[in-house]
Homo-oligomer: A and B are copies of this chain.
């Protein structure tokens, strides 16, 4: 799966900035990638890009209109259709991570056939992934694993990629979810891959590379989350990680979506993830801990990070609060 670049970001009628978080991610992490933004009346999100028309996007070189907005239920709004049709007619591809698929919209499908453009639903795998073969690969891989889902694994990985590049290391963020794929333009929509091919899809995503190159793999789910643990396991065994980062959110009272299930401790996560990763790489090392402290005051957050670092003897950061440089250093000296 790969999306043609550069993009024009479609913000639609986003009622608030949060509704446009996909667009925000693209703007934040790939700042040069978008030629402008397209909004509809009532839009309350702004990526600080120039407001342009479809025609202007094309003349600025855009190849794909990315739907950077989500509404309740992940449906494709009827209000968006005029712009989407105009974009296809002007020769642009459309990319979307919405639950409802572009390919199920007959009008868009017919138009894209007529104008020979692509509708890219990043939730749907388009590759026949192999079954994992477990063969040792060249290059190095780092995987973020979490005590729960939605705990900052993607943010950690993409922030780490940026930091590593800043200090001159070879690093590639490897997306495994919709938002990551839209941000980078490629990846594996792992939660939609067929069971037998999950680990193989991650081997496919992170092939042989230079010995000093790091793939920073976006984590999914959690080994301790009963709904999605199988997906996490496939990431660990398909990813063949040399380095693991433990991700945590200390204010969460139970596993996401599962009242009655408490989060494991960082020690438990450490033990289990290392044991499982050793099956494919006996030299795997945990290189740091990434904590999402957004639910704490800054003082409390610093105190918490220090206490975790003392207890776990591992560099402990909040990527938003203090950045990932201490973890990047670990990988530089790996």
**Chain A interface (Cβ < 8 Å from any Cβ of B):** 131-134, 190-196, 198-200, 223-224, 226-234, 236-238, 255, 257-258, 260-261, 264, 272, 275-276, 279-280
Contacts and interface: CB of A to CB of B under 8 A. Distances in A.
Contact of A199 (B131, B133, B230): B230
A235 to B, nearest CB: 8
Nearest to A132: B227
Contacts of A261: 134, 279
B195 A258 contact: no
Contacts of A228: 196, 199
Contacts of A194: 191-195
B191 A196 contact: yes
28 contacts: A132-B227, A133-B258, A134-B258, A134-B260, A191-B195, A191-B196, A192-B194, A192-B195, A193-B194, A194-B194, A194-B195, A195-B198, A195-B231, A196-B227, A199-B227, A199-B228, A199-B230, A223-B276, A226-B237, A226-B279, A226-B280, A229-B279, A230-B231, A230-B232, A230-B233, A230-B237, A232-B233, A233-B233
B238 A234 contact: no
Given A196-B227, A224-B279, A233-B233, 7 more contacts: A134-B258, A193-B194, A195-B198, A199-B228, A226-B238, A227-B237, A261-B279
A179 to B, nearest CB: 16
Number of copies: 2
A229 B200 CA distance: 11
Contacts of A280: 226
A238 B264 CA distance: 18
Given A192-B195, A194-B195, A133 B230 contact: no
A233 B229 contact: yes
A230 B226 contact: no
A228 to B, nearest CB: 7
Contacts of A236: 229
Contact of A275 (B133, B232, B272): B272
Given A233-B233, A275-B272, A226 B132 contact: yes
Contacts of A193: 194-195
Contacts of A279: 224, 226, 229, 261, 264
Contacts of A224: 279
Nearest to A220: B195
A289 to B, nearest CB: 21
Most buried by B among A200, A234, A264: A234
Most buried by B among A194, A226, A230, A258: A230
Given A195-B198, A234-B195, A275-B272, A227 B134 contact: yes
What 10 pairs across the A-B complex have the smallest Cβ distances? A230-B234, A226-B237, A230-B230, A134-B226, A132-B227, A233-B233, A191-B196, A230-B233, A134-B258, A198-B230
A227 B257 CA distance: 28
